[in-house]
């Protein structure tokens, strides 16, 4: 019987040897039988078992205006003949008979149908000819055609210990990125499985085996109930799909919108996205039976055009697509043709799911169209429910400077190390919010197939179900996770009990709940402070259009001191498409100036929509929603502790070309994060709060605040001009005790010309509208005290008060009062480096100045030439310690000894050596400025606008107790999840076609078994099969040995050995040692 344990040990050895091959494939490898392009070929990977290096798919994008080509948008859909007639009529009426133009043919599936735009080539356009086109009654807009370039390269993932702020390195100023980066970028990070999230977990290695994201989210529960996406049309806008890919069985249509004569995917990204949604084998998608519509909008050279997207969007509307995944994005929420078309798509009941962006962990980095109210914006998490480091954070910046951003993303889901289909076969792992987006798109497709009455499914109702069912992640704020993690089963329960209604996002306002309600919960409110603005999104599941009936009603709870706060509400006049805004401004009543406590109330809103199926003309559906409000009130802080942040004079991209403050950041040349204390100045805000300061935001001109309430006005990186009235008022305020701190940045007209780009639309060179800051405007503001900044441009490391500092593309102080304190340092002349590629060190560059105004009780002024040390965007060494010292000086008149007695103190400059910087001739700042307006000759200031006036709602007090917990399980008005049970589950397997010759089987990768009875993850399933296999083999040998023993005669000599071995075995049991 020794044969049995020998074979058993051999079998177990083989199984143990094979298990790592089956279940532990390295996540960094992309399994594909072909090489899509030289740029995409991964380098060979080491076979060492402990290697931690991974591959990341590096994406580089650029765009340029196509010479002489224009997108002419119409007010409606017209035939090709009508569009041609309208354009011909408009240009003929312009009186320019010599103008050469023609309509560019567009050969794609949409060319046979009416369209709302035309692509026109104009050889020598003039401003008058373009104006003539826009003046035609049927032409809505004329915009330049854009060409997009995308480059994908596999690069090693940086070490986890590296800081996320880009490190500084030596580089030559050979050229500047001369064109605006692509506004719609692919959002895939690559094949790396783990991305640092800033939260340590001791279980990370236990989750090293990738699992199918569909099974992790329990899609197999719905599969077993017979729901597999059948009857739902889902569109993938990406790089195409191969015709005979073995993972897909229901590709309804493949369309090509590029100028290449192929429908296949030459890059692999589109195949991966489609696989996450609808793959039927190996790395399974969510909805294998859905109708897959593939829109190829990128070439194999990674080029696309705006007109390709617009045509493809029109075709998606025509084909009545239900769900559309868009794993691209960009910062330009003012790209009108694109944004308008997204609105039109959702208005036609297309549920658009889009990636929120890969620009995290910086705040204020949301991408469009995911930041739109009608789109489901998706962020990324890893498999341990940590927010992925790369996932972009809120808030939206559309509403700045006067308002406040909305909550985005809407939800988060797995986006790190997710497995999807390889380009030809097999599977691969990728990370990024472009991975999380198809996860939600696949879930939405599957959910839509579970609803019997498909009329109830629309962009609003689906988003309502997703956010109401989402599982909130602990310790994460709403601008990181939105409403929480996708919960597929709870969303199914809600959708199948749904009735049309309105809802709110967020569904309540609790300024005491941290950290979820950050930044609202980070600072209590008090009498005399700027109103706290909460921008709530109204989702209208009743119809594509709606309205708010009468006005929202404010009802304070008297037992909970609701009468201690005042509430003002503004809202969208029309809710379209499917959504609108509800801006709630909260302020403290005068009677609570010295009171501390909690105040509560709620706002009631009634939404009405036209009833689509109502027999009565003018019939409406209505829905009333309640917005609970809870705030913490404290007595008004002393003036010295109150800091006012000037938001009104900060400008950013879009719409204008405002360059980065740090010129070293050539791969990120635009200033687009909002320059707000809750976006790219978040760390500074958190630091000031930890030091006991109360920070408020001024979203109106300087004439609109009571300076006697504040100790310091903080101006950082200001690009806007100033009204003459603002300059006059600021001088008066400082004479009366207000202090001013200014953090400037570079401004040099020669450097601005160097970073220009050629706009082929106007055949002109476009310059930045300002430098890093608008130094000429700042000089106008502070000139009355004999102060000015220069146009010098400096950088370098230095030490100040025993702190290491870095000056990143800052300017110097050109003029300062002789009785002030000035600190100077030796820095490199970065302007010389940019212009002539030469290096020089300038000694004694004045960078910091402190001044006490001479008037009795007057305030203090501080100038510093660089803001990068407090800006999260590209900060390398923070100077929060210096900001503390400066606030001690401005608020309490305490001069820091480390500065007043510094060895770096120099005599204040007089400014007579060099002329002060002048505004760039021919700049277009007036186009985007709130202060300037176009004028014959130089732009002139507009009339000073009136200060914002809030209309406080008349309270309707309630003498009842407020709810103690505003958030339990988020649920819609008509749904009680406790009463919605899952139906009885019956066994069901999605239909799987047999493997054709040459295709890989289900065991090629971990978890390759199609969903059926087993719902275990890969790490649990493989040992079960190994054990069962071992039992079968052992049983076989036991049967064979039994048969052999039962035959007493005619045994061959070589068969006698087992009997002899058996005798030896018996002798061994009696204590005797056998001999051989």
Give me the active site residues, please: 238, 269, 434
What's the rounded Cα separation, in Å, for the pair 274 and 783?
61
Element (H, E) at 308: helix 306-318
807 DSSP assignment: E
Burial track 1036-1070 (b if 16+ CB lie within 10 A, e otherwise): eeeeeeeeeeeeeeeeeeeeeebeeeeebeeeeee
Tell me the H-state helices in 470-613.
478-481, 488-495
Integer-rounded Cα Rg, in Å, for the chain is 33
Tell me the H-state helices in 996-1055.
1018-1045
Burial track 259-272 (b if 16+ CB lie within 10 A, e otherwise): ebeebbbbbbbbbb
Query: Hey, what are 1022's tokens?
Result: 């493989």
What's the rounded Cα separation, in Å, for the pair 230 and 289?
5
Q: Which of 122, 120, 147 is nearest to 64 (CA)?
A: 147
**What is each CA distance from 903 to 702, 795, 821, 826, 893, in whole angstroms?**
37, 20, 12, 13, 21
Q: Omega before 361 cis (within 30°)? A: yes
Of the CA atoms within 13 Å of residue 335, those in its CB half-sphere come to 25
What's the rounded Cα separation, in Å, for the pair 566 and 464?
29
Q: How many residues does the chain have?
A: 1076
Residue 937: Cβ-neighbour burial (10 angstroms; 0-12, 13-18, 19+): exposed
Of the CA atoms within 13 Å of residue 787, those in its CB half-sphere come to 32
Q: Which of 548, 529, 526 is nearest to 538 (CA)?
A: 548
What's the rounded Cα separation, in Å, for the pair 414 and 1018?
17
**What is each CA distance from 410 to 152, 403, 463, 559, in whole angstroms?**
28, 20, 8, 34
What's the rounded Cα separation, in Å, for the pair 455 and 452?
9
Q: Strand 642-646 vs strand 694-698: parallel, antiparallel, or unpaired?
A: parallel
Please, which residues have CB within 8 angstroms of residue 375's CB and are 6 or more apart in sequence? 342, 346, 352, 353, 354, 369, 459
Query: Hey, what are 855's tokens?
Result: 């008037």
SS (H, E, C) 217-238: CCHHHHHHCCCCCCCCEEEEEE
Q: Which of 682, 669, 668, 676 is nearest to 651 (CA)?
A: 676
Residues 860, 889 contacting (CB under 8 angstroms): yes
Q: Work out whether the CA dihedral 231, 466, 625, 699 comes out positive or negative.
A: negative
Residues 436, 430 contacting (CB under 8 angstroms): no
* E strand segments, 79-159: 101-103, 115-122, 139-156
What's the rounded Cα separation, in Å, for the pair 708 and 696?
14
Q: Could you count the other beta carbons within 10 Å of the beta carbon of residue 23?
A: 19
Residues 918, 749 contacting (CB under 8 angstroms): yes
Residues 119, 71 contacting (CB under 8 angstroms): yes
């Amino acid at each position: 019987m020794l044969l049995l344990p020998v074979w058993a040990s051999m079998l177990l050895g083989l199984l143990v040897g094979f298990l790592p091959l089956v279940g532990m494939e390295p996540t960094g490898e992309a399994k594909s039988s072909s090489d899509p392009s030289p740029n995409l070929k991964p380098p060979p990977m080491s076979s060492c078992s402990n290697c931690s290096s991974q591959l990341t798919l590096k994406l580089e994008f650029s765009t340029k205006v196509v010479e002489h080509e224009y997108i002419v948008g119409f007010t409606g859909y017209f035939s090709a003949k009508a569009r041609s007639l309208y354009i011909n009529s408009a240009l003929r009426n312009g009186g320019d008979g010599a103008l050469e133009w023609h309509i560019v043919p567009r050969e794609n599936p949409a060319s046979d149908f009416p369209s709302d735009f035309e692509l026109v080539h104009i050889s020598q356009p003039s401003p008058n000819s373009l104006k003539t086109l826009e003046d035609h009654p049927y032409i809505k807009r004329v915009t330049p055609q854009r060409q997009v370039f995308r480059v994908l390269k596999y690069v090693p993932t940086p070490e986890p210990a590296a800081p996320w702020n880009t490190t500084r390195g030596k580089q030559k100023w050979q050229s500047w990125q001369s064109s605006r980066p692509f506004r719609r970028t692919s959002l895939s990070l690559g094949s790396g499985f783990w991305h640092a999230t800033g939260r340590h977990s001791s279980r990370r290695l236990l989750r090293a085996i990738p699992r199918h994201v569909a099974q992790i989210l329990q899609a197999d529960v719905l599969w077993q109930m017979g729901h597999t996406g059948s009857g739902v049309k889902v569109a993938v806008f990406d790089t195409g799909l191969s015709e005979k890919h073995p993972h897909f069985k229901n590709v309804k249509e493949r369309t090509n919108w590029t100028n290449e004569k192929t429908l296949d995917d030459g890059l692999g990204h589109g195949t991966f996205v489609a696989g996450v949604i609808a793959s039927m084998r190996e790395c399974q998608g969510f909805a294998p039976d859905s109708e897959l519509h593939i829109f190829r909008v990128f070439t194999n050279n990674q080029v696309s055009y705006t007109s390709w997207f617009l045509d493809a969007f029109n075709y998606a509307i025509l084909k009545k697509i239900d769900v559309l995944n868009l794993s691209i994005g960009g910062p330009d929420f003012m790209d009108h043709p694109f944004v308008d078309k997204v609105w039109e798509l959702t208005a036609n009941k297309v549920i658009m799911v889009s990636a929120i962006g890969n620009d995290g962990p910086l705040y204020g980095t949301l991408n469009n169209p995911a930041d739109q109210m009608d789109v489901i914006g998706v962020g990324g998490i890893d498999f341990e429910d940590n927010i992925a480091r790369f996932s972009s954070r809120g808030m939206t910046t559309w509403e700045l400077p006067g308002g406040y951003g909305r909550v985005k993303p809407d939800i988060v889901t797995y986006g790190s190390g997710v497995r999807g289909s390889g380009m030809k076969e097999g599977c691969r792992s990728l990370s990024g919010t472009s991975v999380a987006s198809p996860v939600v798109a696949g879930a939405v497709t599957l959910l839509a197939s579970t609803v019997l009455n498909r009329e109830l499914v629309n962009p609003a109702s689906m988003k309502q179900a997703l956010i109401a069912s989402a599982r909130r992640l602990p310790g994460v704020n709403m601008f990181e996770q939105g409403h929480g993690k996708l919960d597929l089963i709870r969303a199914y329960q809600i959708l199948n009990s749904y009735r049309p209604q309105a809802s709110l996002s967020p569904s309540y306002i609790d300024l005491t709940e941290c950290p979820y309600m950050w930044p609202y919960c980070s600072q209590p409110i008090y009498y005399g402070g700027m109103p706290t603005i909460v921008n709530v999104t109204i989702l209208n599941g009743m119809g594509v259009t709606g309205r708010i009936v009468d006005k929202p009603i404010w009802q304070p709870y008297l037992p909970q001191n609701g009468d201690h706060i005042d509430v003002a509400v503004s809202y969208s006049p029309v809710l379209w498409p499917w959504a609108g805004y509800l801006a709630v401004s909260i302020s403290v009543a005068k009677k609570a100036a010295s009171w501390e406590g909690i105040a509560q109330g709620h706002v009631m809103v009634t939404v009405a929509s036209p009833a689509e199926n109502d027999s009565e003309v003018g019939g409406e559906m209505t829905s009333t929603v309640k917005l609970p409000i809870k705030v913490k009130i404290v007595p008004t802080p002393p003036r010295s502790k109150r800091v006012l942040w000037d938001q009104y004079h900060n400008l950013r991209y879009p719409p204008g070309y405002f360059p980065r403050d740090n010129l070293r950041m050539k791969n990120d040349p635009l200033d687009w994060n909002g320059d707000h204390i809750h976006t790219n100045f978040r760390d500074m805000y958190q630091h000031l709060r930890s030091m006991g300061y109360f920070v408020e935001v001024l979203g109106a001109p300087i004439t609109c605040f009571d300076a006697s309430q504040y100790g310091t006005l903080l101006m950082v990186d200001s690009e806007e001009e100033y009204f003459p009235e603002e300059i006059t008022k600021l001088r008066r305020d400082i004479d009366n005790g207000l202090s001013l701190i200014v953090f400037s940045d570079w401004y040099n007209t020669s450097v601005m010309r160097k970073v220009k780009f050629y706009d082929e639309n106007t055949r002109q060179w476009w310059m930045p509208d300002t430098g890093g800051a608008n130094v000429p405007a700042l000089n106008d503001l502070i000139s009355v005290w004999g102060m000015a900044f220069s146009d010098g441009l400096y950088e370098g490391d230095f030490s100040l008060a025993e702190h290491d500092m870095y000056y990143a593309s800052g300017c110097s102080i050109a003029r300062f009062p002789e009785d002030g304190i000035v600190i100077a340092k030796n820095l490199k002349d970065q302007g010389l480096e940019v212009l002539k590629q030469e290096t020089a060190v300038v000694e004694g560059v004045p960078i910091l100045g402190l001044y006490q105004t001479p008037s009795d009780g007057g305030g203090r002024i501080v100038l510093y030439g660089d803001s990068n040390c407090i800006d999260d965007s590209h900060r390398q060494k923070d100077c929060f310690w210096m900001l503390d010292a400066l606030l001690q000086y401005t608020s309490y008149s305490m001069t820091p000894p480390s500065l007043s007695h510094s060895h770096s103190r120099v005599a204040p400059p007089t400014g007579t050596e060099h002329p002060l910087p002048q505004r760039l001739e021919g700049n277009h700042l007036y186009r985007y400025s709130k202060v300037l307006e176009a004028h014959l000759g130089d732009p002139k200031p507009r009339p000073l606008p009136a200060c914002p006036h809030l209309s406080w709602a008349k309270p309707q007090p309630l003498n009842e107790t407020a709810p103690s917990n505003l958030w339990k399980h988020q649920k819609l008005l008509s749904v009680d999840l406790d009463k919605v049970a899952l139906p009885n589950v019956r066994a069901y397997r999605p239909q799987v076609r047999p493997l054709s010759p040459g295709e890989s089987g289900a065991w090629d990768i971990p978890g390759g078994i199609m969903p059926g009875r087993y719902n275990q993850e890969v790490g649990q399933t493989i040992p079960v099969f190994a054990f069962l296999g071992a039992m079968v083999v052992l049983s076989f040998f036991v049967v064979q040995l039994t048969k052999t023993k039962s035959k007493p005669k005619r045994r061959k000599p070589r068969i006698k050995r087992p009997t002899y071995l058996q005798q030896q075995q018996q002798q061994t049991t009696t204590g005797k040692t056998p001999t051989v």
